[in-house]
Structure 1
Amino acid sequence: MDLMAMVLGSAVLVAGSLGIGVVVHLIGIGRIAPSAWLGLPGGRLRTDAPTYRGTHRAATPLTWLGSTIAAVAAFGSLVAALQAGAKEWAILAVLAAVVLAIGLTLATWRAHTALGDDALRDDRAAD
């Protein structure tokens, strides 16, 4: 496999993993307005601004956990691409992608379960 493609793929995976964590965090603290293009999937998470903010705030810890572990694995794949070779790179790159997918699935589940949380209702009442 071409070394440049492996390095580029790993770098995109590192940046994408951390970028997802940052975006969900910023949505959770209200720095990013409700958007159809940004955030976790689900129409019920976007019914109004307080719901959008509250559900993403609830999902932030799982998002950070998954995206950070994925970024570390992706960085390992970058190092492996430069030093070890294609087999090691592939294992770590796939691990990073799987961890990110599982982490985002759990974070989305947490966001949807937060729809029934009392804290979310209190947040809507404050706005």
Structure 2
Amino acid sequence: MFLYVVMFSIMLCASIFQITIATTTTQKLLILQYFLFAISSIFVFCWHSNKVLEQSQQVFMGPYESEWWKMGAKQRKEVLILTGQLKLFPIFSAGPFNKLTVSTFVTILKGAYSYYTLLRN
């Protein structure tokens, strides 16, 4: 997934650069369409990963919001074990470096734009 994110950053940068040097409107529209599909495909990964993280955090808060202190000793131990297991949040990652979230998506876009500005100058 890390290579996928890196390749998308480079591909987005190249697409933006190609749009600026394209001569005809048809070329610009085709490259823009490719650019939008590329953005949407990486956004889908980041969006769903972010939703999984948010929902797992909501599930984590469930035992704390219950009235666990009114239960017997055995149930309280089980709630404690449950909270220990719920601390492990499932999240998709791009290698050991990045977690795929919406903020990562914005960072990818910023990086692609930075590469573009370097190419343009």
TM-score by length of 1: 0.34
| Higher CA-based Rg | 2
